[in-house]
Amino acid sequence: AQSVTQPDIHITVSEGASLELRCNYSYGATPYLFWYVQSPGQGLQLLLKYFSGDTLVQGIKGFEAEFKRSQSSFNLRKPSVHWSDAAEYFCAVGEKGRRALTFGSGTRLQVQP
Amino acid sequence: ETGVTQTPRHLVMGMTNKKSLKCEQHLGHNAMYWYKQSAKKPLELMFVYNFKEQTENNSVPSRFSPECPNSSHLFLHLHTLQPEDSALYLCASSQGTDEKLFFGSGTQLSVL
């Protein structure tokens, strides 16, 4: 069975600082990996996804993530955080042939002025 | 506008009530999903429909009854719920094999 761990429940960064949100997954084969963002009172929006190929994936809003098979990780990064990035971020893993994703518990990002 | 619309946005119901959540997708997708989001817990997959056929039921109690009359509409019928069923219920849709989900804004359900 696949699983996703987001070790950080809550992170606070200053506006303009860099950001890294951690995600570790457990899955036997090559996973499909996703990062979603959820603003208060809203559904989830896809930031980026990894299926295969280049292990550094670019997404929307200036986010990127790197797939590291040896570490079973798919950490999300942004070089300079904006106040509007404050939200909850979810890492998810999928598997080929199954129409469902397994989500992590989420990391709530707070941005200080 | 994400292309996935859920109604109502908020719902308060007693344990003896019967209510329904509605989801409609305008994206031409062929798969639809119900997820439950409770505080402090990961999103939990409830049901998956592919071309109107249920393909996954993640051990959901029978007091939750899904209905998918066509690829664009998905319902979740609720009856005799418990207070612990209070949560945000999210609908999503997808197309093809890339598993990218498009989510609605959810229905915030409170069971009294």
Q: What is the DSSP string of A38-61?
A: E-TTS-EEEEEEE-SS-SEEE-GG
Cβ–Cβ contacts within 10 Å for residue A67, how many? 21
Per the CB < 8 A criterion, the answer to whether A113 and A17 are in contact is no
Is the per-residue pLDDT at B108 higher than 70? yes
pLDDT at A51 over 60: yes
Peptide bond into B66 cis (omega under 30): no
Residues of B in contact with A36 (CB under 8 A): 101, 103
Instruction: Give me the pLDDT at residue A52, please.
Output: 85
pLDDT on residue A30: 75
Give the pLDDT of residue A71: 93
A113 touches chain B (CB under 8 A): no
A44 touches chain B (CB under 8 A): yes
Give the confidence band of B56 by pLDDT, cuts at 50, 70, 90.
confident
Given a cut of 90, whether residue A67 has pLDDT beyond it is yes
Instruction: Report the alpha-carbon distance of residue B64 to residue A51 in Å, rounded.
Output: 33
**Residue A24 binned pLDDT confidence (cut-offs 50, 70, 90):** very high
Reduced to 3 states (helix: H, G, I; strand: E, B; else coil), residue A29 is coil
Return the pLDDT at B98.
59
Of B42, B48, B99, the CB nearest to A103: B42
Distance CA B7, CA A75 (A): 34
Q: Out of A4-18, A25-39, A50-64, pick the least confident.
A: A25-39
Q: How many CA atoms lie within 13 A of A50 on its CB side?
A: 23
User: In sequence order, which residues have a C-beta less than 8 Å from that of residue B96 and are 6 or more positions away?
Assistant: none
Between B96 and B74, name the one with better pLDDT.
B74
pLDDT tier at B96, thresholds 50, 70, 90: low
Contact A46 B101 (CB under 8 A): yes
The most distant pair of C-alpha atoms in chain A lies apart, rounded to whole Å, by 44
B99 touches chain A (CB under 8 A): yes
Contact of A57 with chain B, judged by CB distance below 8 Å, is answered with no
Q: Which of B48, B98, B104 sits opposite A43 (nearest CB)?
A: B104
Does B2 sit within 8 Å of A45, measured CB to CB?
A: yes
Rounded to whole angstroms, the Cα distance separating A92 from A106 reads 10
Please tell me the distance from the alpha carbon of residue B9 to that of residue B78, in angstroms, as a whole number: 15
Q: Which amino acid is residue A105, in one-letter code?
A: S
Average pLDDT, chain A: 92
Mean pLDDT value of segment B20-47: 92
